[in-house]
Structure 1
Amino acid sequence: MIRAANNNQVLSLAFFVILLVSLGAAGTSLGLLQANINNGIYSRCHFFITYTQAMNSSLLNYNLPTCKLSIASATIATICLALLTAIELISVSFQINVKRLIANIIQAGFFVGSILFLFITMIVVSAGWGKTCATYRNITSSGGTPRSLFNIDCTGPQYRSSVGPFAPNGADFITAAKCSGVANVLAIITLSFFVAKRIRSRLSDEYTPLIKINDYELT
């Protein structure tokens, strides 16, 4: 019994560490997105820019809903992971094993929410910035110069007439997408841990009465 308790404690600690790393990755993604979207005149939304938009010098803010979606989904995912991490921290610190069905359903909901919204963030950021880079790359390769506020550097900060750097920083968007992907994978792993832990706890509860009955018969 002592060995089983120690194993459960080790699993809970590993579960908490993975959750904490996932939370850190999600928070990093959110911070990078906030730093490069709607942060001054040179850092508005630049996702999914088309050829027509790039050639329109009157446009300063392009596809704002997609940027709002990326920040909102990253925020929700970070909140879900923060709540899960807090719950697991309390569980590890006080060795509390939550067995109530409603509590387990709520935790599972947080897991599903974080995985879903991290996936949305990863797709929107990677696809949105990829589309923008492809648009400007095609314009440059065809010999034309877009009449927009500035040309896009896909892997670094932006400069205008040798002045800068300005947002958006392409490297930040790439890192944000990667962090969302890493956080998503870790969230899936922790969800698997969570399900396995609950199944093991339920099986343990089912076998405990049988052990007690057998002990009583032996005495």
Structure 2
Amino acid sequence: MPEIIKQILSVVPLAVLLLSLGAAGTSLGLIQANTDNGIACRFFITYTQAMNSSLINYNVPTCKLSVASAAIATICLALLTAIELISVLFQINVKRLIAVIIQAGFFVGSILFLLITMIVVSAGWGKTCATYKNIMSLDGNIDCTGPQYFSGVGPYAPNGADFITAAVLAGVGAAIAAGAFCYSIVKLMRRSKDDNETTLNY
């Protein structure tokens, strides 16, 4: 294989991880901005809750879960990106079993928590929108695809478009991370095969 191709392939995992990290970080930022870091929550609002005018925040644990899962995924991806960057800069190949297991754990963790983020945000906001859509007396109180306006005053959080974007980015980030994980497995298997062939030749 030409050397230039090898050099390009060596930075592919880093580029993919950077994309996944960017998606996860952006998703986290959008969720934090629209939930006041998980405190001001409007996920999974039911009919009873919507009709209770004394409620200000709804189902706060679900928003905190979405923030926490996105944050954990972002941290895992940041660590993976740092490991891959060091590997590229210093031409270090991870061969020790413990290091491979740690990397695999970070990959699985990032994918799992991004999927949790996607599910909680999309299902939570979807439930809220469905509830308000079915209450004719409250029609117009929730904009599912934009910022909120009350009596013509606004805009206020949450921005429905941001929630949709956050869920999509979490899903995209998970898919990209899964692709990077598969690529790293293939690369590790190929490296092991090359090492075995080298050993046999000697």
TM-score (norm 2): 0.95
Partner of 1:29: 27
Partner of 1:165: 155
Distance 2:168 2:124 in 1: 14
Distance 1:7 1:110 in 2: 28
Partner of 2:138: 145
Matches within 5 A, 1:39-58: 44-58=40-54
The residue identity in structure 2 corresponding to 1:12 is S
Partner of 1:198: 188
Distance 1:207 1:35 in 2: 53
Partner of 2:119: 123
Which is greater in Rg? 1
Partner of 2:132: 136
The structural deviation recorded for 1:109 is 0.2
- 5+ unaligned residues in a row in structure 1: which ranges? 213-219
Residues 47, 131 of structure 1: 8 Å contact kept: yes
The structural deviation recorded for 1:112 is 0.1
Distance 1:79 1:145 in 2: 40
Residues 37, 64 of structure 2: 8 Å contact kept: no
Secondary structure of the residue aligned to 1:165 is strand
Runs of 4+ in 1 over 3 A off after TM superposition: 3-9
Distance 1:17 1:103 in 2: 21
The residue identity in structure 2 corresponding to 1:30 is L
Distance 2:73 2:15 in 1: 17
Matches within 5 A, 1:79-118: 79-118=75-114
Distance 1:195 1:44 in 2: 41
Distance 2:138 2:2 in 1: 68
User: Structure 1 residue 177 and structure 2 residue 167: aligned?
Assistant: yes
Q: CA RMSD in A?
A: 1.7
Partner of 2:11: 13
Secondary structure of the residue aligned to 2:149 is strand
Matched residues, number: 202
The residue identity in structure 2 corresponding to 1:127 is A
Residues 77, 106 of structure 2: 8 Å contact kept: yes
Distance 2:2 2:91 in 1: 13
TM-score (norm 1): 0.88
Between the aligned residues of both structures, percent identity stands at 69
